[in-house]
Structure 1
Amino acid sequence: MPCSPRPGAVLTYRPAVFLRDHCHCAECVHEDTKQRLIETFDIPEDIAFKPEGVREEAEGFRVTWNDGHESFYSKEWLRNVGLKRTSRAVERQGLVEPVFWTGSSIKSSPPSISYDEIATSPTGVRDWLYLIRTYGFAYIPNTPATPEATEALLNLIGPIRNTHYGGFYDFTADLAKGDTAYTQLGIGAHTDNTYFTDPAGLQLFHLLSHTDGSGGASQLVDGFGAAAELYEVDREAYEILSTVRVHSHASGNEDSSIQPVTPMPVLVHDEIHGHLVQVRWNTTDRARVDAPVEEVGKWYAAARTWTEILRRREYWEQLKPGTPLIFDNWRVLHGRSEFTGKRRMCGGYINRDDFISRYKMAAWGRGEALRQVAQG
């Protein structure tokens, strides 16, 4: 099936069964849900074009198969699925060029977008999500200091994730749940949910009030920026934190003890393309380092170097009512200083896949997102 590739591209072989399986006609793919309707392994093993069964048209090729089915393949689609490319991560994960930051570089002008922009315009939602993809966090000033307005913000991205702590949370430091977040203690920089196989993608905090006390400043650290620095200054430490696995757990509630299906390294990379996709760092919820006794000292040395980098890159800010903070829990570490008095905080989690889906729909539109899916 002749179809000129882009200059410099390398074409790969696609067997007939692949092409038949990827027919996008209404008999093979549901027009609304875009789910495959054809049962792949009902396709005959000897599937092939009928003699003289390929006809070139202006935009593609019309094919008649030896099982009697007719398919149409656009030239653009054939070019894309035939190219041997190094990565589909941009399409699959909605990647953007990240801006790495430190406390000193971001303090004077942190990413923010007003509540009114987000609440009243689809482009506002798109710009909000783009800020989060680029910087890993964003403030939303001028938000009504109510749980209802805060929950509505989260719902603009996707369904709020339920965990053993509940769904949308509205709490004070009363130890209602078995976690140090429900105390007045200071908490070091960490990512949440290391005890889950699939940690939450986003977390939002909104300080509704803080009375009769002080303290409780919020801390953020760009984990991807810290990882890039570690890679440059200590390649061996980076490799150790990328390969040695660590056990984690959540056992503070009387009715649960949660661990991921497998221990995970601190720095998690895309297994196909190799880029960093997630930081999992929580010394409070950490259990055993999954390494031989004679090797575990190397992990502690690497983790100490990592911690020193995190501390150098800290960004501190005092949250205030009316300005929620949302951040990428796969990239940005968070913490807080000790406080006195009574604080009321609300917020919630959004699943990673829901976050990325919403970003792609807002940034590209449904048509382009589905076109990327159709390319395989």
Structure 2
Amino acid sequence: MPNQPLATPGLVTTSGQQYQAFAHHKLHAWKKCTLCKDGQSLTSCSLSHNLRSTKNISALPLSIHQTQLRRNTSSTPATSDDVHPQEATAAEEKSTQGSKTSTKSIIPKNFNKLVAGAKELKRIERELKNIHAKRRSPPWTVQGPYIIRGKLMCFHDPGAVRIEKKRVFVRDKPIPNIWLRDNCQCSSCVHEATRQRLLDTFSIPQDIEITEVTIKDGKVHIEFSDGHKSECPVSMLNGAALPADIKADIRQGLINLSLWDASIAASPPNVSNNPSESIQPILKNIRQYGFCYVDNTPFDTPDPTEQLLRRIAFIRETHYGGFYDFTADLASKDTAYTNIALEAHTDTTYFSDPAGLQAFHLLSHTDGSGGASLLVDGFKVAADLKQQDPEAYHVLATVNIHAHASGNEGISIQPYRGFPVLEHDPTTGELLRVRWNTADRAGIGLPIDTVGKWYDAARKFDALLKKKENEYWEQLTPGRVLIFDNWRVLHGRSAFTGKRRICGAYLNRDDWISRFKMEEFGREKVLASLASG
């Protein structure tokens, strides 16, 4: 693995120019700037410091230019963006009331340029703010602490919860009384075993009041006007006030993602199969790299492979069945059941909810050769496209593509709508899923006279997928199970001869993410975030 992150700065086009900005972590807005003496937040320092922090040298001149503008404008008269220089001059003349000192001597010679520069600076600030608010690009870190834990360390501050006039505040935000009553965690309001609500929310008086409230032992003790008494953990209130994008990351169990290319062949993620040990090392590798090999898996029968997958989650049933064990006999009408080469693709793009994980185990290969497996990091390729051609990236992120599965008699699976090739989380703006399967593609969601722009963008994405430095090839062998994230990693194979026997299965996304979160954070911490939204 390369030791340096495969990072690319975000790009935004303004007035024909391209400004490069470092898409800093959303968490920074809540931290104090370590470069300023006055302790202002990183949000207000983003122009003078954040751009300077990026290693991309082309961003540095912009940062210096902005810093210089601030210095120049700091001594100028306070003027609204909409005040015309002539109006400012008139106001200055009126204030002198006959003074012999001319207006021109009072107003700096470069006044017009300074006003224009200030307007330009504010416009750039708005552009950069939009980048930070909606990062339409994947995270790119090779190693480091888990994002979730780093974020929670910042926000779980007991001092952020306070009481004022029988109202509860979290970071100066008042918490509605009905929310506090509705989210009571006592045994009469929430079932202790299932964590399901027992309270009828709409039996709560709309104007419910707090009669008594105190903070003690890490809990907020509340007595309501309806007579009910609640104990609300301070940590739960902190979680409820988290920004929406951080809540989304917590729900996904998001950790730092390691983007990779063909060089990962030197040290791919792998874990030895041991049914008596935790499944978590396998899931952690899949969450970080998008795939993991499970070595030393018995291969005399497919049963140990099925048992391995069921330790992660339930097997997903599709029109192909559940756990599959097949050869190239076209038993199911799909090119996967042939011996021809397959280009990099994701599976089940024709489902509204594509399979989350996919697994392959080559049980045997006799009387032939070939059939090497291909893996491509779709998130890494998307990052490359974003850097090289933001417009092409935008097209693939916004134009819906329809797909279908119609090979078997009596079956034609078509989702209720089309989906873009690059799907983003609507809350965080981050890349969430790649859908790419030219064999299963149907219509393109554009007027027929404008579909050309999608083909142009797709051609560029396809070219990046096929670059040798992005293709990781591996010859599977009996005993080595390949499990990969079908929302991120594309797979394919070379043509082969002879008879191959392969087993495997699909697993749902929600199921395997649930198992990962439970193993990584523990049931108590996972359930503690339920009321946070």
Give the TM-score, by structure 1 length. 0.94
Runs of 4+ in 1 over 6 A off after TM superposition: none
Which of the numbers 148, 171, 184 marks the counterpart of 1:23? Answer: 184
Shift of 1:91: 1.3
Q: 1:22-76 deviations in whole A, cap 9, x for unaligned?
A: 11110111101111111212222122223xx223323222212122211111223
CA contact (8 A) 1:175 1:183 kept: yes
Q: 1:121 to 1:14 in 2, by over 3 A?
A: same
Q: In structure 2, what residue type is equivalent to 1:207?
A: L
Is 2:249 the partner of 1:93? Answer: no
Match in the other structure for 1:362: 519
Count of equivalent residues: 365
Cα distance in structure 2, aligned partners of 1:61 and 1:219? 54
What is the deviation of 1:240?
A: 0.3
> For residues 217-236 of structure 1, what are the alpha-carbon distances to aligned partners after superposition, in whole Å with 9 as ceiling and x for unaligned?
11110001111111111100
Q: Which has the higher contact order (CA 8 A, sep 6+)?
A: 1
Structure-1 separation of matches of 2:464 and 2:412: 31
* Residue 317 (structure 1) aligned with residue 486 (structure 2): no
- Secondary structure of residue in 2 paired with 1:120: coil
For the residues of structure 1 that align with 2:486 and 2:172, how far apart are their CA atoms?
38
In 2: Cα distance, 1:330 partner to 1:89 partner: 17
Q: 1:57 to 1:10 in 2, by over 3 A?
A: closer
Aligned to 2:276: 120
Partner residue of 2:326 out of 151, 171, 175: 171
C-alpha spacing 1:73/1:279, structure 2 compared with 1 (3 Å) = same
Q: Which of residues 223, 227, 244 is equivalent to 2:399?
A: 244
RMSD: 1.5
Q: Does 1:59 pair with 2:214?
A: no
State the match for 1:133 in structure 2: 287
Indicate whether 1:110 and 2:268 are aligned: yes
Question: Alpha-carbon deviation of 1:151?
Answer: 0.1
State the Cα deviation string for residues 63-109 of structure 1 (Å, max 9, x = none). 12122211111223223323446421331001111111111x11111
In the alignment, which residue of structure 2 is the partner of 1:352? 509
Post-superposition offset of 1:292: 1.1
Instruction: Give yes or no for the alignment of 1:154 onto 2:312.
Output: no
SS at match of 1:26: coil
Secondary structure at the aligned position of 1:87 is classed as helix
Report if the CA contact (8 A) 1:10-1:84 is conserved. Answer: no
Q: AA paired with 1:299?
A: W
- Do the aligned partners of 1:4 and 1:79 also contact (CA within 8 Å) in 2? no
1:341 aligns with 2:498: yes
TM-score (normalizing by structure 2): 0.67
How big is the shift at 1:278?
0.3
Q: Larger radius of gyration, structure 1 or 2?
A: 2
Which residue does 1:263 correspond to in 2?
418
| 2:143 corresponds to 1:143 | no
Distance 1:10 1:84 in 2: 12
Identity %: 55
Tell me which of 65, 72, 94 is aligned to 2:231: 72
User: Given residue 223 of structure 2, which amino acid in structure 1 is its aligned partner?
Assistant: T
Q: Is the 8 A contact 1:196 1:260 kept in 2?
A: yes
1:84-142 deviation digits (Å, cap 9, x = unpaired)? 46421331001111111111x111111111112xx2212xx111110001110111111
| Structure 1 residue corresponding to 2:375, chosen from 216, 220, 233 | 220
More divergent stretch after superposition (58-67 vs 236-245): 58-67
- Specify the code of the residue in structure 2 equivalent to 1:108: A
Who is 1:43 aligned against? Answer: 204
Partner Cα separation in structure 1 for residue 214 and residue 393 of structure 2:
54
Q: Distance in 2 between matches of 1:284 and 1:18?
A: 49
Measured in 2, the distance between the counterparts of 1:69 and 1:136 equals: 48
* Secondary structure, counterpart of 2:501 in structure 1: strand
Gaps of 5+ in 1: none
Cα distance change, pair 37–171 in 1 and its aligned pair in 2 (3 A): same
Q: Bigger CA drift: 75-84 or 171-180?
A: 75-84
Query: Which of 249, 256, 275 pairs up with 2:430?
Result: 275
> C-alpha separation between the residues in 1 aligned to 2:296 and 2:472?
22
- Indicate which of 174, 185, 189 corresponds to 1:13: 174
Contact 2:241 2:532 in 1 (8 A): no
Q: Take 2:309 and 2:525, find their aligned partners in 1: how far apart are those partners?
A: 24
Letter in 2 for 1:120: S
Q: Which moved more, 1:342-351 or 1:14-23?
A: 14-23
Structure with the higher fraction of residues in helix conformation: 2
**Residue matched to 1:373:** 530
Gaps of 5+ in 2: 1-157, 162-169
Of 312, 316, 327, the match for 2:484: 327
Q: CA deviation at 1:215?
A: 1.1
